[in-house]
Amino acid sequence: MPNSSTSLKGVILAAGKGTRMYPFSETLPKPILPVCNRPLLSTQLDFMRGYGITEIIVVIGHLGYAIVDALGDGSSQGFKIRYVEQSETLGMAHAVGKLEQYIDSPFMLLLGDIYLTTEDLGPMIQRVLAGEINACLASKVESDPDMIRRNFAIMEESSGRVRQVIEKPRYVESKLKGCGLYMFDQNIFDAIRRTPRTAMRDEYEITDSIQILINDGHVVHHSPVVKDDMNLTFPHDLLRANLMELERRQLTELVGENTTLPAGTSAHNCVVGDNVSFSHPINLTNSLVLSGSQVTESVDLDHVIIHGESTVHCDRNMIS
């Protein structure tokens, strides 16, 4: 952990509507969907704590009250959490731009709907804190072009310096993917003020702001520190993130509190939440059961998410 990271602030963007995550998005904003029975945001807070970050701004919007209810003011966990509302979802740059009055030092920016595991971020953090570079983008060498198309491509010059970033590229010419984790100094706010709305999504994209930084001559680097990542966009992404975390923990199942699997019931490669009940003995495989659900199915289930009394079947080809 960097010794100088006490001045580092954290920002988590958690304002999106998540309409493609239906039916879960009706009642749960994506950032508090569970990964191994904990809200994703809680795991992100723990991640930031690992780098000495305890002062965090969470940008909220859709169902923001549910996020506040889940996290509170953070004091019980040793955090100081400030909530800032993005009343209009006009893109990441718009959300970050609203925070300038609250931020007077370099900061780590993390998207609230991304599950990821990383190598040590210490070197990239230290370089921004020391003023050697103005921004650093966490990256991953990605062999799947479709995953790059869902994020952004990074074109580098040498020694990790970035010359161009391309949001959701149709034609993928780089295997370097940006992964929704960034380090910025204050110069990003000047770039955001000059960021135009895009024709593609009619939003203010943070990648456009980063490109303005680069064009202005500021030093932007990337660091290939991301080992695994998953954007929680569709239900199958939520299932995949849970199975990835289960594998990372070297578990074949995780069963929550006040949940007992009845005789004749098995849950292989599954995450089962708290206070879950089963109406019939079944075999459950490669699946996720959210806390408080009632499993009423009487047939064996594979690659499903159960929420309440609803069962969402996921394409197993999207999970592997």
Burial zone of 320 (CB within 10 Å; 0-12 exposed, 13-18 middle, 19+ buried): exposed
Yes or no: is domain 5-231 CATH 1.20.140.10? no
Report how far apart, in Å, the C-alpha atoms of 244 and of each of 10, 45, 125, 202 are. Answer: 25, 19, 26, 34
Average pLDDT, the chain: 92
Q: How confident is the model at residue 320 (pLDDT cuts 50, 70, 90)?
A: low
Stretch(es) of the chain classified as CATH 3.90.550.10: 5-231
Task: Give the H or E element holding residue 115.
Answer: strand 114-118
Tell me the per-residue pLDDT of 100-158, one tens digit each, with 9 for 90 and over: 999 999 999 999 999 999 999 999 999 999 999 999 999 999 999 888 998 999 999 87
Evaluated on CA atoms 90, 96, 100, 102, the torsion sign reads positive
Contact 239, 314 (CB under 8 A): yes
pLDDT digits (tens, 9 = 90+) for 52-102: 999 999 999 888 999 999 999 988 888 999 999 987 778 899 999 999 999
Name the pairing type of β-strands 304-307 and 310-313: antiparallel
Both tokens of 226, joined, read: 């991301």
Model pTM score: 0.92
Helix (H) / strand (E) element for 118: namely strand 114-118
